[in-house]
Amino acid sequence: METYNPLYTTVTVSDFKDSNYIKKLINLDIGLELALLTNLSEKIDSDLKNLKKEIANFCHCFDNFEIQKSSIRVHQPGGYMYYWYNRNKISGFEPLRDFFHHCCNLGFQHFVIHAPYGNLSVNEDVERCEYRKKLESLTPNANLEVEEIVASNKELNKKMGIRFYVNELFEALIEKQKAIPLLDVYECTGVKRTIQRLKGLTSKGFEVKTIHMHKEKHKFLTSDEFEQLIKSKFCGNLVNEGFIKADRSFEKFILTKSLDCVVSNDQSRTF
């Protein structure tokens, strides 16, 4: 029996300017995961306003191509913003919750978030209890997947006071929750470790429905690496998150949002 992997690819609003590309995705039955380019910063009110404009632009595109919003995956906005405790008197949870509730009201049903950071000055059990309640309230009546973040945390290891929700703490956060774990090849530091983590979570009773496919911060997997994932017999969603040119950096893209950093649609390895 062949293993079936539903395929998705990351899209931005600018991708919809190429109607042939979007039609190609539709004809190949490749689903969409939204890459929201609006940052969430300390200017929460204006950022939320801009985020709602961005999602409204997406909705206009979906109407034009007769794409159902219920089939779309919405990835959290703001890049690597996982602070759910009050950092500089601002929490990253409230704007994320407000935006996701707005999306739910629009008809979106599938959401992805990054595992949050915690605060070492707070009791671990108390914080985890609080975070679990926040997870429950983040996307009422919708599907939520929580991405374990490992590789990117290494950039913050020199900063004191941060609790990383990884490994056993990540599992304790999402156990017996409606939210389920999501694995990312880059965050797991490679395909082999992704497969090892998948087997480890499965052996503990967790269901993993999605793997994000990219490396080196949104560079494409090689054909061999993709084949390794397929041979692992994982039969959930595979989401292509590779879109940065080989000679460009994800950091430059985040700073400039320049399409000069992005692989053109006709060069996409999705096909």
Q: For residue 220, is it within any domain?
A: no
Average pLDDT over residues 194-204: 97
Q: For residue 140, is it within any domain?
A: yes
Q: For residue 178, is it within any domain?
A: yes
Q: For residue 165, is it within any domain?
A: yes
Number of separate domains in the chain: 1
Mean pLDDT score of the chain: 88
* pTM of the shown model: 0.91
Average pLDDT over residues 118-142: 93
Confidence of residue 271 (pLDDT cuts 50, 70, 90): very low
Q: For residue 191, is it within any domain?
A: yes
**206 with 179: CB under 8 angstroms?**
no
Q: For residue 246, is it within any domain?
A: no
What is the distance between the alpha carbons of residues 63 and 105, in angstroms, rounded to a whole number?
16
The larger pLDDT score, comparing residue 39 to residue 267, is at 39
- Predicted pLDDT of residue 152: 86
pLDDT surpassing 90 at residue 196: yes
Q: Which structural domain, as residue segments, surrounds residue 63?
A: 7-210+232-237
Angle at 241 between CA 3 and CA 200, to 5 degrees: 55
CATH number at residue 191: 3.20.20
Q: For residue 31, is it within any domain?
A: yes
225 Cβ partners below 8 Å, 6+ apart? 185, 191, 215
- Predicted pLDDT of residue 258: 77
What is the distance between the alpha carbons of residues 33 and 210, in angstroms, rounded to a whole number?
12
Q: For residue 217, is it within any domain?
A: no
